[in-house]
């Protein structure tokens, strides 16, 4: 069975991560610049200490939210790729489906129905059943279909269907997880640079007026 090398996948996604990080950084700078210009036009002399506290606190909160989301995706990726590389390959039969409703992309009210397969397989004549973590469209699989599976020998109910969609999902989990984790540092960098710029501007204004 083909295995995945995490280092090779990281190298493959590195250019995307770098571009995403700088893209987020530029976006944060533009947004912060607009806010600062607005206050400057309104002639609101906000205390530097208050600005610094607000920027740093807000940045840390944003970073924590994105960091935890990224870690969750990376944890999901690690669990799946560990099972994929070290699990035992076998075959199972789809016995039923669990209906799962997911919000339709671009719609406020619409939902699409997906079908999460329940798969049965045997180990030494003992029947094991598991719910596949991924759900599919109705015409992807049918009850009675034989599917390739991978299971954990130490925990037979920890298993998954082995197909092309699984491989794509693992790659997406890795990519989005890394993008979110690396991108979450952009707000902190912005906050530090913005405080430095505001401080220097006020020092120049004081020197100019004195």
**pLDDT digit string, tens, across residues 36-85:** 554 554 445 555 555 555 556 666 666 777 777 777 777 777 788 888 88
Given this model, what pLDDT does residue 145 score? 94
- 110 & 137 share domain: yes
- Is 143 a member of any domain? yes
- 149 & 131 share domain: yes
- 147 & 93 share domain: yes
Give tens-digit pLDDT for 87-124: 999 999 999 998 887 766 555 556 778 888 999 999 98
- 177 & 80 share domain: yes
- 56 & 99 share domain: no
- 144 & 182 share domain: no
- 26 & 68 share domain: yes
- Is 40 a member of any domain? yes
Given this model, what pLDDT does residue 4 score? 47
- Is 1 a member of any domain? no
Order of strands, sheet of 111-123, starting from the edge strand that comes earlier in the sequence: 126-131, 111-123, 88-103, 146-152, 155-161
- 80 & 15 share domain: yes
Distance CA 92, CA 119 (A): 6
Structural domain of residue 45, as residue ranges? 6-84+171-209
Give the residue from 134, 137, 174 showing the smallest Cα distance to 16: 174
- 145 & 106 share domain: yes
- Is 166 a member of any domain? no
- Is 67 a member of any domain? yes
- Cβ atoms < 10 Å from Cβ of 116: 15
- Is 183 a member of any domain? yes
- Is 114 a member of any domain? yes
- 79 & 180 share domain: yes
Q: Residue 187, exposed/middle/buried by CB under 10 A (0-12, 13-18, 19+)?
A: buried
Given this model, what pLDDT does residue 131 score? 92
Report the pLDDT averaged over residues 147-163: 92
Number of domains in the chain: 2
- 205 & 177 share domain: yes
- Is 164 a member of any domain? no
- 26 & 51 share domain: yes
């Amino acid at each position: 069975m083909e295995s995945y090398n995490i280092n090779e996948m990281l190298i493959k996604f590195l250019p995307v991560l770098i571009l995403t990080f700088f893209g987020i950084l530029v976006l944060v700078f533009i947004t912060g610049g607009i806010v600062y210009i607005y206050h400057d036009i309104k002639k609101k002399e906000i205390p530097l200490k208050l600005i610094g506290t607000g920027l740093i606190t807000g940045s840390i909160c944003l970073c924590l939210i994105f960091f935890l989301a990224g870690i969750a995706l990376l944890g999901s990726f690690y669990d799946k790729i560990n099972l994929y590389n070290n699990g035992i390959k076998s075959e199972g039969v789809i016995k039923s489906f669990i209906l799962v409703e997911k919000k339709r992309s671009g719609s406020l009210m619409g939902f699409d129905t997906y079908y999460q397969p329940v798969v049965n397989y045997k180990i030494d004549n003992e029947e094991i059943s598991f719910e596949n973590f991924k759900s599919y469209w109705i015409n992807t699989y049918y009850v009675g279909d034989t599917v390739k599976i991978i299971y954990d020998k130490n925990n037979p109910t920890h298993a998954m269907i082995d197909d092309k969609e699984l491989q794509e999902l693992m790659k997406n989990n890795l990519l989005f997880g890394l993008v979110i984790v690396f991108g979450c540092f952009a707000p902190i960098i912005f906050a530090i640079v913005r405080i430095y710029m505001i401080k220097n501007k006020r020092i120049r204004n004081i020197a100019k007026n004195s």
